[in-house]
Amino acid sequence: MADTPLLELRDVNKSFGPVHVLRDVNFTAMPGEVTALVGDNGAGKSTLVKCMSGTYSLDSGSYLFEGREVSVHSPKDASALGIEIVYQDLALCDNLDIVQNMFLGRERHRGLVLDESSMEQAAGETLASLSVRTVKSVRQRVSSLSGGQRQTVAIAKAVLWNSKVVVLDEPTAALGVAQTAQVLSLVRRLADRGLGVVLISHNMSDVLQVADRIAVLYLGQTAAQVRRSDVNQQQLVELITTGRLSESATAQGAQGAAV
């Protein structure tokens, strides 16, 4: 159902020795929406993403997928559910072409040999379905691609495996203006296809441009999870830096909504 979250974390706690990194954190990702996960350095974003991916197990709390509680103890468990993570380093091999990268570790075989034609067709169809037109050939080596094209390939690789939730870690961090616009457009298209997209970003302009909902972490706790339309940039920055909204910021937001 459209009103059932694809991914939901409830009252999540995670500690490393005496350091309590996540404290009763709640997070929700809805189908067909981009949920931005924001917070200052040290807020707990990376730890929360690693809990989503199964890299870290929860100390306590609930992990729900499509409305039912599940156990996720490894990236393989998350992938089996349909959750794919695109980390900032992209995990692409420069010496391989696009097809080889998209199927790396999941190659298709025809008998004892690789089914190159099937993989090439699937890679091309996936890029086409995302309206990607900046890549000339699926047989280009990744080393020849621009930063924006590499990010596109990494996202397409995640989508290829019938994923339902795609988590993007700082996808525009090292990109120029034109490449950033291309990637944000692709992020929007993922959500329009019904996927739940989680966008981790420090760029408030990107967040406000593409997000439907925004989850704010502050010192390991959930400061807010709000609809994009309910906050402006000033309020968002205040949530990130203080973990709360002042009365003046709330009043200004109400005035803005009234206008």
pTM here is 0.88
What tens digit of pLDDT does each residue of 206-216 get? 999 999 999 99
CATH code for the domain in which residue 192 is found: 3.40.50.300
Integer Cα distance of 109 and 113 in angstroms: 6
pLDDT for the residue 258: 44
Find how far residue 7's CA is from the centre of its chain.
12
DSSP 235: H
Q: Is residue 2 part of a domain?
A: no
In a domain, 14, yes or no: yes
Using alpha carbons, list the distances in angstroms from residue 69 to 8, 131, 239.
Answer: 9, 34, 30
The single residue listed with the structure tokens 């990107």 is 206
C-alpha span between 159 and 23 (Å, rounded): 31
User: Which residue shows structure tokens 């906050």?
Assistant: 231
Structurally, the chain folds into a number of domains equal to 1
For residue 115, is pLDDT > 60? yes
At residue 252, the pLDDT reads: 56
The 10s digit of each residue's pLDDT in 158-213 is 988 889 999 999 999 888 888 889 899 999 999 999 999 999 999 999 999 999 99
Residue 195 counted as domain residue: yes
Residue 94: partners with Cβ closer than 8 Å, 6 or more residues away = 141, 142, 143
pLDDT at 253 over 90: no
User: Residue 134's pLDDT is what?
Assistant: 82
Q: 129: domain range?
A: 7-258
User: Looking at the domain assignment, is residue 207 inside a domain?
Assistant: yes
